[in-house]
Amino acid sequence: MAKRIDVGGLNAYYGGHKAIEDISMTVEPRSVTAFIGPSGCGKSTFLRTLNRMHEVTPGGRVEGKVLLDDEDLYGHGVDPVSVRRTIGMVFQRPNPFPTMSIYDNVAAGLRLNGRVRKSELDTIVEKSLKGANLWKEVKDRLNKPGAGLSGGQQQRLCIARAIAVEPQVLLMDEPCSALDPISTLAIEDLMGDLKERFTIVIVTHNMQQAARVSDRTAFFNLAGVGQPGKLVEIDETARIFSNPSVQATEDYISGRFG
Amino acid sequence: MSDVIVDRPTVSDSAPLPPAGLHRPRLPRWAPAVVAALAVAAGVGIGLGAGLSSRAQWGLIAAILFVAVMYAAAARVEGLRQAKDRLATSLVWVCFLLAVVPLVSLLWETIARGIKVLDGAFLSHSMAGVLTIQPGGGVYHAIIGTLEQVGIATAIAAPIGLLTAIYLVEYGRGRLAKVVTFFVDVMTGIPSIVAGLFILSLWIIMLDFSYSGFAGSMALAILMMPVVVRSTEEMLKLVPNELREASLALGVPKWRTILKVVLPTAIGGITTGLMLAIARIAGESAPIVLLVFGSQVINNDPFEGAQSSLPYYIYEQWANGNDASYDRAWAAALVLIAFVMILNLVARAIARWKAPKTGR
């Protein structure tokens, strides 16, 4: 199920602008890796390079290697569509499909990929919604529109949608930044469960959250406005938050940044 | 009106602004209605007194009086800032009426004059064997012609227009997209008579086909295509990028994302745009005059021989210049308006039925 990601010498561009420079790191399987850093330092961009979503942006371009268990995602002949099937993503703002019911939203990934058998689908939808801690709340109204749920429920619906296609890795781009503390707690608990089965990478601005949920933490920084973002260090979360090896990390975490 | 606050909170006595509380004197709620009524009365009075024959002048006087009196009253009672607000509100109302009056009067005129001869026989008979000065006859052949020509034009223009818009929004990058956009813009401005002349020279003169409903359909399709492209493009741009990304991130190929996520989200707006485009070409008469030739009898075959159409029929009847023909022209105009209106209602219904749902 879960796979390891090895990144080597990765640069990403928006047109002529270099957004991130020379990033190398390893994301361990069956663990939560958190990305922290100031706004504009390229955390989200880097996250999007991990499942080839970066190139969806007009002008988006990537150099370097991303190995998923020794298979280069940017290698010749790799289909971005199958990469994204293997590496799922949850976005900052909940984005359920507005034309679809709750059930259809969860089933969307499978259905749109053309693998459908009704009975099998029922099982998967139930399993995914249970996996996203949403089943109890919505089991009586699966045919109601997904956009009618609350923000936190919508975000868990999006997580259910992402795990329904059984990815190996789950990327989460600030999944709680639009949510209240209770929904945030629900999703953090969920991450703890999900890391048994998936490799999870999460971008967050909330350092307590990084400290709570992640096993390893990567700190990103940028030298100045218009400069590309860089990876400063990556280490065990406990170490990053108690005794980081780089001064900039300590400054950022303790709020003495900038 | 407002009640004066007697014991206001202690504010320094030197404060120059008169009322210190949150209450300000307000005009009563019924003031605009009363001023409007008075303005209309005054407009009519002045119009009659000064012997102005045109009702438009009466209305203009009433409108100016209404705006001016509202502004003056508000400035006196409520202060200058509120007066400006009232001024803007009054102007908006006046403009609204200016826009509605012609519309209502047009509908009223058409219904009042058209209803006279509009009955089952009118809808189910052609003009075959009816002399222009005789009453009777009907519009059936023109309805058939319009339905067929507009139907074929839609069948040609809608798919091309839709696919062009999808290309421009979802795939188009660089030069080709710019060129396509430019030509769509140019096409939007083509006068209908020019589209007719183009098909005339290509289809009838060069390729030597004869007059037919289909020739007219092609000219209508040329007129319809840019409208469809434009409206569909706008609707597709309204679909949030996040939905596309959500679908792509699930490992759904791009074409399926467009087909299953983007189009269903925008389908309501796309349908409305399509219906408006159909309504626009349903009223075209110039290409029909050139290419379909016009006919007094029923011709069910759009690919062979002359046909009629509703706008052409109206033009033709009006040109006859006698009372029986005038009646028929108005009745046909009413049929055409009803046709367009039904199309619009259908579009609304589809848009509502297909619109993204938010209910719980």
pLDDT score for B182:
92
CA distance B355 to B360: 15
Distance from CA of B350 to the nearest CA of A (A): 14
Element (H, E) at A136: helix A135-138
Q: Give start and end residues of each alpha helix (H) in B115-212.
A: 120-124, 140-166, 174-188, 192-199
Nearest CA in chain A to B246: A95
Average pLDDT over residues B29-56: 85
Taking an 8 Å cut-off on Cβ atoms, the answer to whether A95 and B249 are in contact is: no
Chain CA centroid to CA B249, Å = 40
pLDDT band at B1 (very low <50, low <70, confident <90, very high): very low
pTM for this prediction = 0.79
Using the predicted structure, report yes or no on whether residue B2 has a pLDDT greater than 50: no
Query: What pLDDT, on a 0 to 100 scale, did the predictor assign at position A1?
Result: 55
CB pair distance less than 8 Å for A141 and B256: no
Chain B residues with beta carbon closer than 8 angstroms to that of A95: 240, 242-243, 245-246
pLDDT at A257 > cutoff 70: no
| Whether pLDDT at A179 is above 80 | no
Cβ neighbours around B347 below 10 Å, total = 21
**Which residues in chain A touch residue B351, judged by CB atoms under 8 angstroms apart?**
none
The mean pLDDT value for B121-149 works out to 85
**pLDDT at position B16 over 70:** no
Query: Read out DSSP for A43-65?
Result: HHHHHHHTTT-GGGSTTEEEEEE
Alpha-helical segments (H) within B239-262? 241-249, 254-257
d(CA B21, CA B148): 69
What percentage of chain A carries pLDDT values higher than 70? Answer: 98
Tell me the average pLDDT across B75-83.
85
Of B246, B250, B356, the CB nearest to A147: B356
Say how far apart CA A221 and CA A219 lie, in whole Å: 7
The mean pLDDT value for A70-98 works out to 87
- pLDDT bin (cut points 50, 70, 90) of residue A115 is low
Which chain A residues touch B240 with a CB distance below 8 Å? 95
What's residue B197's pLDDT? 92
Angle at B122 between CA B116 and CA B124, to 5 degrees: 160
Scanning chain B, the segments in alpha helix (DSSP H) are 31-50, 55-77, 80-114, 120-124, 140-166, 174-188, 192-199, 213-238, 241-249, 254-257, 263-282, 286-291, 310-320, 323-354
Which site among B250, B357, B358 would you substitute to test the A interface, given the most A Cβ atoms closer than 10 Å to its Cβ? B250
pLDDT of the residue at B323: 85
**Mean pLDDT across chain B:** 85
Residue of A nearest to B353 (CA): A99
Q: At residue B358, does pLDDT exceed 70? A: no
pLDDT for B230: 93
Residue B245 has its nearest CB partner, among A91, A98, A147, at A91
Cβ contact B250–A148 (<8 Å): no
Within 10 Å of residue A31's Cβ, how many Cβ atoms? Answer: 17
pLDDT band at A77 (very low <50, low <70, confident <90, very high): confident
Sign of CA dihedral A43, A45, A51, A53: positive
pLDDT at site B158: 94
Q: Which of A45, A50, A81 to mutate to test the interface with B (most CBs of B within 10 A)?
A: A81
| Higher pLDDT, residue B354 or B243 | B243
Q: Where are the domains of chain B?
A: 26-114, 140-353
Task: Tell me what the mean pLDDT of segment B247-251 comes to.
Answer: 88
- What are the tokens at B244? 């596309």
Interface of B with A (CB under 8 A): 173, 240, 242-253, 256-257, 260-261, 264-265, 354, 356-360
Backbone angles phi, psi at A236, to 5 degrees: -55, 140
Name the minimum distance, in Å, from the CA of A10 to any CA of chain B: 20
**Is the pLDDT confidence value at B14 over 70?**
no
Per-residue pLDDT averaged across A209-233, rounded?
A: 87
Kindly report, residue by residue over A152-177, the tens digit of the pLDDT: 889 889 989 988 888 888 999 988 88
pLDDT at B360: 44
Q: What is the mean pLDDT of residues B59-69?
A: 88
Q: How far is CA B110 from the centre of its chain?
A: 17
pLDDT value at residue B48:
85
Alpha-carbon distance B214 to B152, whole Å? Answer: 7
Chain B residues with CB-CB distance to A53 below 8 A:
245, 248-249
Mean pLDDT (whole number) for B50-62? 82
User: Does A145 contact B357 at a Cβ distance shorter than 8 Å?
Assistant: yes
Of the pLDDT bands very low, low, confident and very high (cuts 50, 70, 90), residue B180 is very high
- Nearest chain A Cα distance for residue B355, angstroms: 7
- 8 Å CB contact of B250 and A162: yes
Across B216-233, average pLDDT: 93
pLDDT of residue B15 exceeding 50? no
Cβ(B125)–Cβ(B138) below 8 Å: yes
Q: Which residues of A touch B360 (CB under 8 A)?
A: 141, 144, 148-149
Q: Please state which of the ranges A134-143, B4-13, B199-208, B297-306 shows the lowest mean pLDDT.
A: B4-13
Average pLDDT over residues B132-147: 86
Point out which residues pair with A61 in neighbouring strands: A13
Indicate the DSSP class of residue B130. Answer: -
Mean pLDDT value across residues B4-12: 49
pLDDT band for position A70 (cuts 50, 70, 90): confident
According to DSSP, the β-strands at A32-36 and A60-68 are unpaired
Domain B140-353 has CATH 1.10.3430.10: no
Write out the residues of chain A at the interface with chain B, using a CB-CB cutoff of 8 A: 51, 53, 56, 58, 81-86, 88-89, 91, 93, 95-99, 108-109, 112-113, 141, 144-145, 147-149, 158, 161-162, 165
Write the burial class of residue B18 (CB in 10 Å: 0-12 exposed, 13-18 middle, 19+ buried). exposed
Give me the total of CB pairs closer than 8 Å, taking one residue from chain A and one from chain B: 93
